């Protein structure tokens, strides 16, 4: 199972997994939320489902901080940045399923996006 | 939508890394096939009012993906210079599909998340210039496309496209007016699309002129614009080298897409161009 770990302080990292970033775990500061608090994230609709692995969460972060800002007018880019993940996790077309609340999934994804440090918007 | 986001970001990654092959990655292909399947299934199942914004948002990104999905960098390996391929002009078909989704999703309704963009849509729907279209195109267009006063759109497959393209030739591309430029291809009549598929030289010349207006634009537009503009120029020079007017008119797109000036070759009517 892939577990999304996000450093919520926003000062040192991006979305990752327990398996791929043990250094983050060993060096994380005290205010970071423990990694095992984060659930597997599965995005699905009535026809299919897809579990986000660390690369997918990382890519989502790049979309949020870089790609979405490069595809339309400035106003449209900002609008998309605000709503893309909301739409991606929208109930009906795409439903985020998890063991706890959908809001927590969105919050986790937004955190992953905002803390992405792989790109220069 | 999630697969669409993954696909577009993977393409952007590829574009930003010059060391990567221009070919599509497995990641792109996987997510795109999943996105297309899911989108078609959701459309087929019927669109609920609450799905409309997701439907339109996904359509926009799919349109961008289809235009950005060019997996060659050599114009000789690109359409139309290369041999026919099922993916030829695929992006053009998707561009037309967006019009249908627009009608279903109606993103300009007041409760849409896209409603704040209504001013931009309206701005880009107004004429870009007060000049008459004939003042915006090279004079040789008039005779090449048979655009005298007697023609009508019904009997001239090029007329509407030339008139739509004309103001763009006098307009500098910006992110803000981008939609204006895409209206040109979205307004193609079926007969003109068929002419493009048949590699009709006049239709190709029009597309080359349009490409030349967006060679210097956003990352997801410029690669296809440059490579296919070059490919059209090379194709027309190779297969229609006896059409002097077309070769002369190619100079502008040739320059805009970065091809070196062609060597002017003597033309012998009964023999063709000498290399």
Most B-contacting residue of A87, A96, A116 (CB-CB within 10 A), to test interface = A87
Nearest CA in chain A to B12: A67
Task: Please tell me if residue A78 touches chain B, with a CB cutoff of 8 Å.
Answer: no
CA distance B153 to chain A (A): 32
Q: Name B184's bridge partners.
A: none
Return the pLDDT at B174.
93
Residues 87-116 of A with CB under 8 A from B: 87-94
Can you tell me the mean pLDDT for B41-52? 83
The half-sphere exposure of B197 on its side-chain side, counting CA atoms within 13 A, is 16
- In sequence order, what DSSP letters do the residues of A47-84 get, joined into one string? S-EEE--HHHHHHHHHHHHTGGGGSS-HHHHHHHHHHH
Nearest CA in chain A to B63: A71
- pLDDT tens-digit profile of B109-155? 999 999 999 999 888 888 777 888 888 899 999 999 988 766 565 68
- A vs B, Cβ pairs < 8 A, gives 105
Closest by Cβ to A71, choosing from B34, B64, B114: B64
ipTM: 0.81
Q: pLDDT at residue A89 above 50?
A: yes
Distance CA B264, CA B267 (A): 9
Closest by Cβ to A92, choosing from B34, B50, B219: B50
Closest by Cβ to A56, choosing from B6, B48, B51: B6
- pLDDT tens-digit profile of B204-229? 999 999 999 999 999 999 999 999 99
Average pLDDT of chain B to the nearest whole number: 87
List of chain A residues whose C-beta atoms are within 8 Å of the C-beta of residue B45: 46
List of chain B residues whose C-beta atoms are within 8 Å of the C-beta of residue A71: 8, 61, 64, 218, 220
Least confident of A68-77, B33-42, B80-89, B156-165: B33-42
- pLDDT tens-digit profile of A10-45? 333 333 333 344 444 444 444 555 554 445 566 666
Q: What is the helix, strand, coil percentage profile of chain A, to 5?
A: 45, 10, 45
At A17, phi and psi to the nearest 5?
Answer: -115, 165
List of chain A residues whose C-beta atoms are within 8 Å of the C-beta of residue B55: 93
Q: What is the pTM of this model?
A: 0.77
- In sequence order, what DSSP letters do the residues of chain B get, joined into one string? -HHHHHHHHHHHHHHH-TTS-SSPPHHHHHHHHHHHHHHHHHHHT---GGGHHHHHHHHHHHHHHHHH-----SGGGSTTTS---TTTTHHHHHHHHHHHHHHHH-TTSTTSTTGGGHHHHHHHHS-S-SS-GGGTS-THHHHHTT-STT--TTT-TTHHHHHHHGGGGGS---STTHHHHHHHHHT--HHHHHHHHTT-HHHHHHHHHHHHHSSSS-HHHHHHHHHHHHHHHHHHHHH-TT-HHHHHHTHHHHHHTTPPPPPP--EETTTEE--
């Amino acid at each position: 199972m892939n577990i999304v770990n996000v450093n919520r302080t926003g000062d040192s990292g991006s979305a990752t997994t327990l398996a791929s970033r043990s250094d983050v775990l060993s060096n994380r500061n005290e205010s970071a939320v423990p990694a095992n608090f984060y659930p597997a994230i599965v995005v699905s609709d009535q026809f299919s489902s897809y579990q986000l692995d660390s690369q997918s969460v990382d890519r989502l972060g790049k979309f949020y901080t870089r790609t979405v800002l490069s595809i339309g007018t400035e106003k449209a880019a900002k609008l998309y940045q605000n709503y893309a993940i909301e739409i991606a996790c929208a109930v009906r077309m795409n439903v985020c399923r998890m063991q706890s609340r959908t809001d927590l999934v969105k919050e986790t994804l937004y955190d992953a996006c905002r803390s992405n440090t792989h790109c220069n918007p | 939508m999630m697969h669409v986001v993954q696909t577009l970001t993977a393409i952007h990654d590829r574009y930003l890394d010059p060391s990567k092959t221009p070919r599509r990655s497995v990641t792109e292909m996987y997510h795109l096939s999943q996105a297309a399947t899911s989108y078609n299934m959701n459309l087929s199942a019927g669109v609920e009012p609450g799905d409309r914004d997701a439907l339109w948002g996904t359509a926009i990104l799919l349109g961008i993906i289809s235009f950005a999905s060019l997996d060659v960098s050599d114009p000789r390996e690109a359409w139309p210079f290369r041999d026919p391929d099922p993916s030829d002009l695929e992006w053009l078909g998707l561009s037309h599909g967006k019009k249908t989704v627009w009608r279903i999703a109606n993103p300009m309704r007041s409760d849409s998340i896209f409603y704040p963009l209504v001013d931009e849509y309206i701005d880009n729907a107004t004429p870009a210039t007060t000049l008459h279209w004939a003042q915006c195109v090279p004079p040789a267009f008039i005779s090449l496309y048979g655009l005298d006063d007697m023609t009508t759109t019904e009997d001239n497959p090029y007329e509407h496209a030339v008139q739509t393209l004309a103001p763009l030739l006098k307009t500098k591309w910006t992110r803000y007016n981008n939609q204006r430029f895409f209206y040109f291809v979205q307004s193609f009549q079926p007969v003109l699309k068929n002419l493009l598929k048949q590699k009709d030289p006049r239709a190709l010349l029009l597309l080359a002129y349009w490409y030349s207006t967006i060679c210097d634009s956003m990352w997801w537009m410029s690669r296809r614009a440059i490579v296919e503009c070059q490919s059209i120029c090379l194709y027309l020079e190779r297969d229609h080298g006896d059409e002097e007017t077309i070769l002369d008119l190619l100079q502008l797109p040739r320059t805009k897409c970065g091809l070196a000036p062609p060597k002017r070759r003597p033309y012998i009517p009964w023999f063709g161009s000498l290399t």
